[in-house]
């Protein structure tokens, strides 16, 4: 299978939203309520919302295509959310968050996730990042193994509100330079991250 990873375009919005709606529930713990998942998707993963993300200069959306369909996507966001737990867990600056990375189930094991990750890391380097960080649900061991394989290590924890439930995430970080320079947490933004899968905090990024 040939996988092509490119920046998302406006023409991708409807298909992106469909892929997001199909993949987000699969990354959530079994205890997550279906109504909470549906509400999150409606509020954060609609075609309209992806249009807003695409227009945001602080974000980069990547799409993975195989056989002329979108089989996965990733979203990068510059900075670190203003959550004290995340600020402590991500000491390197500047940082980029791997806010979302999801692949359709029938594309698992076909190299789509690896292609997305490679491009996400290359894009983060091009943005000048010293590290990439993400949040992953503590019950999602499969995702944790994948991130560890690509050089991420657990550096802390954070919480993520999904409806009426508080989910617990690990914060994982990968340095992008040989000798990264720690700095004070000064590049916090007003947005919060997301995490059932990686990531999908109080208001999603």
Phi, psi of 53 (to 5 degrees): -60, -40
Burial (CB count <10 Å: 0-12, 13-18, 19+), residue 98: buried
Beta bridge partners of 153: 173
pTM given for the model = 0.86
pLDDT of residue 188: 34
DSSP string, 80-109: B-S-HHHHHH--BSSEEEEEEEEE-GGGTT
Name, in order, each residue with C-beta under 8 angstroms of 65's C-beta and a sequence gap of 6 or more: 3, 4, 5, 6, 71
pLDDT of residue 150: 98
Apex 159 CA angle, 80 and 34, nearest 5:
120
* HSE, side-chain direction, 13 A CA sphere, residue 39: 11
Across the chain, the runs of DSSP E, i.e. the strands, are: 4-7, 59-66, 69-78, 95-103, 131-137, 153-162, 165-175
pLDDT of residue 191: 36
pLDDT of residue 195: 54
Apex 202 CA angle, 36 and 163, nearest 5:
15
Instruction: Spell out the domains of the chain, with CATH numbers in brackets.
Output: 4-175 (3.40.630.30)
pLDDT of residue 119: 98
Apex 48 CA angle, 47 and 50, nearest 5:
65
Please give the average pLDDT of every successive group of 10 residues along the chain, which has 205 residues. Answer: 93 98 91 92 98 98 94 98 97 97 91 96 98 95 96 96 89 80 41 44 38
pLDDT of residue 204: 44
């Amino acid at each position: 299978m040939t996988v092509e990873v490119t920046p998302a375009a406006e023409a991708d919005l409807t298909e992106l939203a469909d892929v997001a709606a199909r993949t987000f529930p699969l990354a959530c713990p079994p205890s997550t309520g279906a109504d909470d998942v549906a509400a999150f998707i409606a509020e954060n993963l609609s075609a309209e919302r992806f249009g807003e993300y695409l227009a945001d200069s602080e974000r980069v959306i990547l799409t993975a295509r195989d056989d002329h369909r979108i089989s996965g996507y990733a979203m990068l966001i510059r900075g670190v959310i203003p959550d004290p737990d995340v600020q402590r867990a991500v000491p390197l600056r500047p940082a980029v968050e791997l806010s979302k990375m999801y692949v359709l189930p029938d594309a698992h094991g076909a190299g789509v996730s690896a292609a997305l990750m490679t491009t996400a890391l290359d894009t983060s380097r091009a943005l000048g990042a010293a590290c990439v960080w993400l949040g992953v649900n503590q019950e999602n061991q499969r995702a944790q193994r994948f991130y560890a394989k690509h050089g991420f290590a657990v550096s802390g924890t954070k919480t993520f509100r999904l409806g009426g439930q508080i989910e617990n995430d690990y914060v994982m970080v990968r340095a992008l330079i040989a000798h990264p320079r720690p700095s004070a947490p000064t590049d916090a933004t007003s947005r919060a991250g997301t995490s059932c899968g990686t990531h999908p905090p109080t208001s999603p990024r």
